[in-house]
Structure 1
Amino acid sequence: MSKVILVTGPAKSGKSEWAENLATQTGKPVIYVATALTDENDIEWLSRIEQHRQRRPKAWVTWEIPLQLVDAITTSQDSCLLIDSLGTWVANLLEQDQSNWEHTIQNLCSGLQDAEQDVILVAEEVGWGLVPAYPVGRTFRDRLGHLVRRIAAIADVVYLVAGGYVLNLTELGSPLPSHQDYGTLNDQV
């Protein structure tokens, strides 16, 4: 039986390490889906990517898939698929208009619900601070928050990692009564 697991938290909280730990615990072959676009001119970004690469076990297969996550979910079977990260994936698709974006996330959620393997998704929590001053920042924050909420509603387990500690929100929390009613991004502040 496949499971969908969501690991969320702020930057540098340990969420990727927790997701990697969970993937190892499945005992299945792990396919690590890296969503980052690389830019050879951004040395700091390349350094971050390399840190993630060095931490992963050598036996894991890495797929670099910055856009087509649904294809990865429907292609791999009898494995554990670790997707890191949803925030980077959302950033890669910011140019989509609202209608295409809604279609994209509906396809992703459908793919997760039909998955034939374990899927662990890592997502950043970006809505805990100030409202971004620029429209693209607000769009990013709203889209990622909306997506995390949609995936949490269908996930078997949701973890929050903060300050190096892990909380199982599925055990400790309660879903909002209206967790299936998201409205549109235009309805959100």
Structure 2
Amino acid sequence: MGKVILITGPARSGKSEWAETLARQSGKTVIYVATATNNPDDAEWQQRIQQHQTRRPQDWVTLEVPTTLSTTLADTKANSCVLVDSLGTWVANLLEQDEVSWANSVAEFLVTVQLVAADMLFVAEETGWGVVPAYPLGRTFRDRLGSLVRQLGTICETVYLVTGGHALNLTTLGTRLPDAIDYE
């Protein structure tokens, strides 16, 4: 297994920029995995995508992977650094899966992460710090993403929280929770 790093935090906190900094510092070929789908009819979304694209070096390979994340990760080479931005969008893209299918997708993803020899950086949004969503799909999204981030965090070499203009290394500052506990 290569290095596995999780970068999490609230919206517009600098998560992606920190992940991009770590990818540049890796000295490896960078593969940027964008989980968002390109929607030309949404001007604001296009602006967000453009902002991300402008920051990235020209020599980075970009793959648009809205759903088949595990397959893409499994196909990466050991001498590369894969930056996945973001897990929240990946979860949103799979929200229509029933609970059994979702559990299978998560299990496949977590096993794949542990088998890949490439370094991997995962960007994930923190959604559970606010009000419980008033609608079922919002609660499903929040719960699935929160659980995924927790499970991934337990197998990561390093976990960062980016907030308030700072990247905090939670691996050195915190204590890892036991794997078996599930608070859902």
**TM-score scaled to structure 2, two decimals?**
0.97
* 1:146 matched to 2:123: no
The residue type equivalent to 2:57 in the other structure is P
1:126 match: 127
- Percentage of identical aligned residues: 56
Count of residue pairs brought into register by the alignment: 183
Secondary structure at 2:176's aligned position in 1? coil
**Contact 1:80–1:118 (8 Å) recurs in 2:** yes
Tell me by how many angstroms 1:179 deviates.
Answer: 3.1
Moved over 3 A (4+): none
**1:108-123, aligned counterparts within 5 Å?**
108-123=109-124
**1:73-112, aligned counterparts within 5 Å?**
73-77=73-77, 78-112=79-113
Unaligned ranges ≥5, structure 2: none
Task: Give the Cα–Cα distance (whole angstroms) in 2 for the partners of residues 40 and 20 of structure 1.
Answer: 25
Tell me by how many angstroms 1:53 deviates.
Answer: 0.4
Task: Give the Cα–Cα distance (whole angstroms) in 2 for the partners of residues 142 and 8 of structure 1.
Answer: 15
Task: Give the Cα–Cα distance (whole angstroms) in 2 for the partners of residues 29 and 39 of structure 1.
Answer: 28
1:52 match: 52
Tell me by how many angstroms 1:38 deviates.
Answer: 1.6
Task: Give the Cα–Cα distance (whole angstroms) in 2 for the partners of residues 85 and 13 of structure 1.
Answer: 14
Secondary structure at 2:84's aligned position in 1? strand
1:164 match: 165
**Contact 1:153–1:180 (8 Å) recurs in 2:** no
1:175 match: 176
The residue type equivalent to 1:149 in the other structure is R
1:47-74 alpha-carbon deviations (Å, 9 max, x no partner):
1011000000011000000001111111
Question: Which deviates more, 139-148 or 71-80?
Answer: 71-80
Unaligned ranges ≥5, structure 1: none
**TM-score scaled to structure 1, two decimals?**
0.94
